[in-house]
Amino acid sequence: MPERRNFKRKSSLRDSRLIIIAAEGEETEKKYFEGLKENYENPRVHVEVLDRLEASSDPAKVLRRLDKFRSDYNLRRDYDELWLVIDVDRWGNQKLSLVSQQCVQKHYRLAVSNPSFEIWLILHVHSLDAYSPEIQAELIANKKEGKRTRLEQELLALLGSYNKTNPDMNYFAPRVFDAISNARNADKNLENRWPNGLGTRVYLLAEEIVPSQES
């Protein structure tokens, strides 16, 4: 077995914690989390978003990226955090159940969006209560019309423009605390490993990245 390397922690503080993120999406999530860490200086954490090396976004393959990172580097057990960011819409409950069990066994954190990551972006603008039950049903079904899903169409309507490959972090970053609050308020079944209805657990990861408003 090759010798594991020490990860270079950029923070000047010796107790800086690593937050390692492997996301299902190829561009949206990576650009979002990298933009978030650039907009919020938090010397106690170092955020690393792993590149997607394979064309497939299968959650099991995304999970293996975390496995490889952990095998390559000496991490501080029970201090550094490895996060898996995935969606319900493409994989369904059965596959996600298997992946979530592995995350528990490996001590990885899980941030699942239902139906997809775009619901997290919408929560920067609106709470879910702003939508009627009929519209919420459309959002969770997230059908594709033309080149855009229902959630992408909603973001386009809310923002005037939406580029999936390059989300506007000048807009989203200042509103992340609104998104955290909206997502937390919508998360009614904390005993479940991911939201069964419309919602997202990305707020748990965002809370680890940005400094507390109380600090």
> What is the mean pLDDT of each successive set of 10 residues along the chain, which is 215 residues long?
58 71 89 94 88 70 88 84 91 84 93 96 96 97 93 96 93 97 93 90 96 66
How many CB atoms are closer than 10 A to CB 8? 7
Query: Pick from 150, 154, 201: which is nearest to 180 by CA?
Result: 201
Q: How many angstroms separate the Cα of 142 from the Cα of each of 34, 91, 146, 153, 154?
A: 26, 14, 12, 10, 10
pLDDT at 56: 58
Residues 6 or more apart whose CB falls under 8 angstroms from that of 12 comprise: 43
CA distance 60 to 46: 25
Q: Which two tokens stand for residue 38?
A: 């650039």
Strands 148-149 and 144-145, sheet pairing: antiparallel
Closest CA to 121 of 51, 83, 178: 178
Q: What is the pLDDT of residue 13?
A: 47
Residue tagged 């699942």 (tokens): 112
CA pair distance 109, 201, nearest whole angstrom: 10
Burial degree of 40 (CB within 10 A; 0-12, 13-18, 19+): middle
Q: Write down the pTM of the prediction.
A: 0.91
Q: Yes or no: say if 74 and 47 are a contact pair by the CB < 8 Å rule.
A: no
Name residues whose C-beta falls within 8 Å of residue 133's C-beta, 6 or more positions apart in sequence.
none
pLDDT (0 to 100) of residue 1: 44
Show the tokens assigned to 215: 């600090």
Structure tokens at 55: 């064309």
User: What per-residue confidence (pLDDT) applies to 60?
Assistant: 77
Q: Are 141 and 150 in contact (CB under 8 A)?
A: yes
Alpha helices in the chain (DSSP H): 28-39, 59-72, 92-106, 118-122, 133-141, 150-159, 169-172, 176-186, 202-209
* Spatial separation of the C-alpha atoms in residues 85 and 201, rounded to whole Å: 9
